[in-house]
Structure formats: structure tokens, C-alpha cells
Structure 1
Amino acid sequence: MSKKLVFVYGTLRKNQSNSSCMKHAVLVASQCWTSGRLYDVGVGYPAMVSDSEQKVYGELYKVDVDTLREMDLLEGYHGPGLDNLYERRQQTIYTDVGKKQAYVYTFREEQATGLREIKGGDWKVDHLLKKKQLYYFAYGSCMDQERMVEHDVADYFTNVLGRGNLQSYQLAFTITAGDGGRADVVESDGKAEGKVYQIGSEALAYLLVREGVEEGKYRPSFVDVEVNGVMLHDVLTFVVVDKQSETAPPEHYAKEIIRGGKDYLSSSYLQKLEKEWKEKFAINIQKWL
């Protein structure tokens, strides 16, 4: 039976109200985007319209004919040229490992008149960031308590749940500052480790500024992270918006990652970082362990 690729950006995403529709689908990419403009319909789901200048974030799945038929029913799509709630069209989806062509369900421009535009293009982020308490997965220098003290925000990050294991991602340095690369998590067949905190609104406000969200450097994203044998769903983290080829991090930044993570990261993960950083960047982390 032939399979189709479908990009979803609303209630069909992981942990959302219609995710059960995707039970037979195969997840291809969790961190991906396509061109479009996103709106809140106002009754618990979003709608996307065409816009080549903006981005809509979501997930990419491979689905069978039966699942696609169920999705068509949910989205009110009856066929080309018919009285559809959403149209189904193909367009380019951008993932961490390349481009794909996939189906996307969209509104016509006139259907979005009067609706609230979702700035940032991520419906899941738009409603989850309104929660008073969040779990937060830190994988870079935000693990470093000394740096938090220097920035006078240590009191926002006192509730540490433990080591977080983020499957199907890897640590990389895909954005540069003036003195070198900064950390990111990129989808792969590997695993990234970090610290998981429970945070409130003050910590969130600080992170949004620190990660340069307004400037388009990093964007909030929600991932599933295992902590102490328990899977936590919809854990906040930050990923680089426009990923570039890896650049070596400066030594002071690499030190912050190891200093902040060494009491939480597994010995096998630290050994992996030691090997990779020595080979790729000529950085020896042993002096910080």
C-alpha cells in the first residue's frame, strides 16, 4: 500500500487532541517547517494560509491511505474543487536533514479574515507558553549554575528534576556568535542529554531574551524527554532557527556546558562529547571534569 508524506501543524501533532488519528503513521521529522502564515481559528485549532515570506512549524509523517482518508474527514476535505473546509495541497517541507514534498491542509486567504495571527508560526508553542509552570530541557550553557549566578537569575532555576534524555537528537554547534559556535539540538538517530528544570514565568521571560527569540536566533520548541525513567511530554527547549555548518565553540562556552552538566550527564555521554570535541574542535574537556 502506497504511503504519503503529510505535514501537520495543529491538533494532529504529538500529545495534541487529535494525535490518535496518527497512531498508524510514521514520524519522519519533529522539527520542520513550511512556508505559510498561521492563524488561531478560535475554537481550539489553527489554520494556515499561503505566504512565501513566513514559516509555519510542525511535524512530518508518512501515512497510509486509510490514515490519509481519516485526516481528510477531520479537515473537511472532500476533493479538488469541492466545498472544502481545508484544501489539501503539496508543498516543500524543510527538515534538519533536507527538503521533502508533502501534503499540507490550508485555508483560503479569505477564510482567515478577522482571525488572530499566530506570531512565530507555531501553534503548539503559542498555547503551551501560556502555562504557569513548564518543564525546561537545557542542553548547553543554561546547565551552568555559575553563569546563572553571574546573571542574577539563579533563583529562577532551583528546581532541577534530573538528567534529561532526548532521543533522536544530537548536540551540535549550528549558530555562531562573535567568538565561535553555540549549541543546538538537531534531529538524528542519536541522543542528547541535559538538565531538566521546572520553571515559572520569570525564568521563561529570561530565557526568551537570552536565547534571542525576538531576533530570530533560537525559537521555543516542545519535545518529549525521559527523566528518571519517566517520559515527560511537551518539555520546553530552544532550537536554532537558521542552522549553519558547525563552528567550533569558544573554550569558555564549552567549559560552561561541561561545568554545568558534569554532575548530571551520564559518563557515556561525557565520553562521547570528549571524543567528538577533541576530534572536531581540538577541545579537551578532561580539565573541567
Structure 2
Amino acid sequence: MKLFVYGTLLRGESNHHVLEGATLLFEGIKIQAKMYDTNIGYPAIELEEGSTIVGEVYEIQEYIWSSLDALEGYTGNPLTDMYSKEIVKVETNEGLIEVIVYTICDVSMKSVLIPSGNWIEYRSSLIR
């Protein structure tokens, strides 16, 4: 299955190592969602028409999913999980594909809206 990443799993970011063994398929891909800075070192998103975020798409090997779920605080219980898994369709230069994306469960993590929907640009602007 394919995964859309938008924060610390992006190339060059702090948790990218979790994707070791995955294959980058597409970069600069956009989905309809709002991005938030959680103020604890990583972003969170919620799917929403009219807002766009940017990320990368990876082909994920089966053995990587357990590490991803642990990182994202996902067990399948929306009452206690930090994130849920959603399936969305994204447009690529090879056509429309389905991807999994981790979306926010814990609304208290919605600290600061990131209007650009671009985690790397946002973090760079904070460092200046």
C-alpha cells in the first residue's frame, strides 16, 4: 500500500529513517487538508476541502507498517489514538492513486494553523 507523508517522515526530516526500505514514488503531491503545528515537534492534519497540503508518496512494505503505527500513536481506537488512518485519492503525473494518510484524532493537537500546508517551509520560517 502507498502512504502520503507530510511532516517528520519527509526526506531530510527527523523520522524519515522509519521509512527505510520504502520506495519514494512521488514528491510535491497535494491533498485537500489543513495542517497544524502541534507545538511538540511535528504537524497534524485533518482532511478538508478547500485547503491544500503538500507531501510525498511512498510504497510501504508490509513490515514497516507496525513501526509507522507506533510512531503515529495508531492502534485502531479513535477514542485513544493520536492519529487515524484515512484512504484518500491523490493526483500524480501517472494518474489518480489511493494512499493512506495519518490524520488527527486528538483535536487538542491543533495548536497553530499552517496556512501554506508545507511543513518544511513552515519550519524554515521559524528558524530565521
The aligned residue for residue 17 of structure 1 is 14
**TM-score, normalising length from structure 1?**
0.42
Separation in 2, partners of 1:80, 1:28: 29
Mapped contact 1:31–1:57 kept (Cα < 8 A): yes
Q: Secondary structure at the match of 1:33?
A: strand
Distance 2:16 2:70 in 1: 14
Structure richer in strand, relative to its length: 2
1:120 matched to 2:116? The reply is yes
> CA 1:44–1:59 in 2, change beyond 3 Å: closer, same or farther?
same
Contact 1:10 1:124 in 2 (8 A): yes
1:68 aligns with 2:65: yes
Q: Which has the higher contact order (CA 8 A, sep 6+)?
A: 2
- Three-state SS of the structure 1 residue aligned to 2:48 is coil
What residue number does 1:108 align with? 105
Q: Which runs of 5+ in 1 are unaligned?
A: 133-289
After TM superposition, the structure 1 stretch with the greater mean CA deviation from structure 2, 39-48 or 49-58, is: 49-58
Cα shift readout 1:185-224 (whole Å, capped 9, x = no counterpart) = xxxxxxxxxxxxxxxxxxxxxxxxxxxxxxxxxxxxxxxx
The change in CA–CA distance for 1:97 and 1:128 in structure 2 (over 3 A counts) is farther
The match for 1:28 is: 25
Q: Deviations over 1:31-79 (max 9, x none)?
A: 1011110000001100001211111111100001111111001000002
State the identity %: 27
Structure with higher Rg: it is 1
Residue 111 of structure 1: how far off its partner (Å):
3.4
Q: What pairs up with 1:186-225 in 2 under 5 angstroms?
A: none
Bigger proportion of residues as helix:
1
